[in-house]
Amino acid sequence: MKKTALIITLLMMITACAIKPTENRIEKTLAIKEDSVFVREALMMIDDVESSELKYQLTERLFPLVIDREGEIYQSVLNATQESHNAMQYAMLANTIAWKNRENTLLEDRLFSLIEDAAVQCRTGEFIDALSVYLDKRGYSPMEKIEAEPQYRAMILDTYAYYLMKMGRVEDALAVYEEILAEYDDPEILINVSRAQAKLNRYQYAMENVLKALSQAPAHQDALSLIYEYGESLSYPASAIDTMVEKAVNDAHEAIVSTLDEIRIDKPMPAFKLENLDGSVVRSSDLQGKILVIDFFATWCGPCRRALPKVHQLYQSYENDEDVRFLIISTDKDKSKVRPFIETNQYTFPVYYGDDVSDKFGIKGVPTMFVVGPDGKIRYEKIGYAEGEDLEFTLMMYVNSLR
């Protein structure tokens, strides 16, 4: 009996020793920076990975890199990706790949199949359950989760509709857009709907939707140009189009002003200490009695890059106002990237290293902006930046309402 137990123990030890090198090799492979080398190493081990987490990490990086490989390799990695990803993870990855490669006509059939599958997945209960877990980990409240779910689904379905449009299936694309708008009203979707309607010469409907988009995103250049394009097709006088544009922009601004009281919050600002790029330090106690515009950003963040020029213009408007201070806070882990980024863009607002301050403010992503009143209370919180929104006007209304 003892001999049998000893043999079993030895076998277990041998098995454990055999697994460890495999995991170590996977981790070393994941650390490879050169994509071509990573692909070669990853393909040799993809079928032998036992750790579900490591397989997920491996396929998450590998799948986008083999999208143009021959059928057998592509199918093998696709199968491994579907096996290691839940419905939400797979649909989001497939969406990213399809969108990034949307100009590649040689892969159009493969990409369409991928995004079509993602569109199916995002409508399932498995997708919703996995998304709920994901949002829980990011600290979303129940209400925030309810609001986020249709946004994630819309992202995928919008890409699906884009591919349908490319294939000339305009009516099918319109049906998908209507499905999105039934639960998520968004300027970009409205603009896309208008383009699909214009393809079918339904210019009046297209005009209505693009005007609605402008009333939500009054600085959206695509919306502006399409309004004039559709107006010309409808033989509208230029003066009439100008009036419609002015009304849509005014409606957008009035909507922002009308919600100020509704969205104002009463949250104590956490105490903090920030280091400026020049090495100087500012503490929250130094800023008492000031209105603060705080913007958390990252150099790698696309929406941050688009929002920062508008924040900079607003900063220049208040630069000589002693009652208003701007704190532009980098959340970059690699601090060496911050100064070159700021200098290249010629930003003159004060920039600080975030360290643990973002945790104190409880931000879930970037960009996130706060406007703090003279009483030290956070009064407004704005998460994200959408193309075409009038960020300067919005933040200006926040600031001026606190005087």
- As annotated, the active-site residues are 301, 304
Alpha-carbon distance of 365 to 263, in angstroms, equals: 19
Place of tokens 């495999």: 22
Do residues 256 and 393 touch, judged by C-beta distance below 8 A? yes
Structure tokens at 403: 């005087």
* Residues 6 or more apart whose Cβ sits within 8 Å of residue 356: none
Alpha-carbon distance of 352 to 273, in angstroms, equals: 10
Alpha-carbon distance of 209 to 161, in angstroms, equals: 17
DSSP-assigned letters across all residues of 32-93: ---HHHHHHHHHHHGGG---HHHHHHHHHHHHHHTTTS-HHHHHHHHHHHHHHS-HHHHHHH
Q: Which of 56, 122, 116 shows the shortest CA–CA distance to 84?
A: 56
Q: Which of 215, 219, 164 shows the shortest CA–CA distance to 192?
A: 164
CA atoms within 13 A on the CB side of 24: 6
